[in-house]
Amino acid sequence: MTANKAFPVLRAESLTAGYNGKPIVSDIDFTVDHGEFLSIVAPNGTGKTTLIRTLAGVLPPLHGAVSVCGRNVAGYSRRDLAKLVAVVGQNESVADYTVEQVVAMGRYSHIPRFGSRTHQDESIINRVLAQVGMKEKRKIFAGQLSQGERQKVTVARALAQCPKLLILDEPTSHLDVKNQIEILRLIKRMTAEQGLTTLAVLHDINLASHFSTHLAFLKDGRMTSYGRTQEVLSVETLQNLYGMNFTLLKDAGSIFVQPDYGLGDYNQ
């Protein structure tokens, strides 16, 4: 499906989300436009995953609306929504499948019922495997891979959907620094090269500030700040969010966030 560029790729309007009628996040308003990379940053237990599930159309809103490419997500069939939105969740169970089988799952929404993969499907699978550097391991079971490699495979599956919007829930969790950077560099490159729009939940403020065009901060289930990274990232915002002191260091256009570790004389 093609996206209408007259509308933002993702819009949340007066959105309240939760379970069994109980709000977890409330009054959320923001848009993510074509080619933007928005990271949601928040302390633990603030409803980030609930928000992600609602934005992806998995969880119906308690109030307000979510639209993708100008249309309410409730108006899409599951198949049609999957052609526009790809989600990479936390700790996905892919161990029992080969790398190629996992990536091929991304083509399901494009294959007619009772149909089979076409030459175009195979071409997309091959291209995505090459893009994430896993083409030579396509026949290996995902359970035999390192955590970093498995994460690349789940990202590859999402890319194989050829979506307009890529949603990732803590894609760097449980990864070492090298793999964190490799995953985010890959996502950033795919966002640019394939014209994607990306929304990610990230815990590391420095990773979020370096890779994201926009940041959104959540506290107590509400969005406290939202905007372009260079404009919204401030000491005041972070102190309000985490209740501790920070220092921002700027170098060559980049912002580095340094928390106050509170060690005092212990480092003497």
Residues 2-37 have pLDDT tens digits of 555 678 999 999 999 999 999 999 999 999 999 999
Structure tokens at 225: 């700040």
**pLDDT confidence of residue 127:** 96
Residue 57: which of 112, 22, 17 has the closest Cα? 17
Q: Given the structure tokens 């969880």, which residue do they identify?
A: 59
Domain 10-259 matching CATH 3.40.80.10: the answer reads no
**pLDDT confidence of residue 93:** 84
| Cα→Cα distances 119→10, 116, 130, 150, Å | 31, 10, 17, 26
Residue 135: which residues within 8 A CB-CB, separation 6 or more?
A: 126, 129
The residues spanned by each domain of the chain are: 10-259
- CA–CA gap between residue 267 and residue 54 (Å, rounded): 45
CB burial of residue 66 (10 Å; 0-12, 13-18, 19+): buried
Q: Given the structure tokens 């256009």, which residue do they identify?
A: 253
List the chain pLDDT tens, one digit each, 268 residues.
555 567 899 999 999 999 999 999 999 999 999 999 999 999 998 999 999 999 999 999 999 999 999 999 999 999 999 999 999 988 788 889 999 999 999 999 999 887 889 999 999 999 999 999 999 999 999 999 998 999 999 999 999 999 999 999 999 988 999 999 999 999 999 999 888 999 999 999 999 999 999 999 999 999 999 999 999 999 999 999 999 999 999 887 788 999 998 876 556 5
Calculate what percentage of the chain has a pLDDT beyond 70. 96
Please give the single-letter amino acid code of residue 120.
Answer: Q
Q: Given the structure tokens 């309240």, which residue do they identify?
A: 16
- pTM as predicted: 0.91
Residue 101: which residues within 8 A CB-CB, separation 6 or more?
A: none
Torsion angle in degrees (nearest 10) through CA of 204, 15, 31, 1: 110
Q: Is 148 left (phi over 0), alpha (psi -120 to 50) or beta?
A: alpha
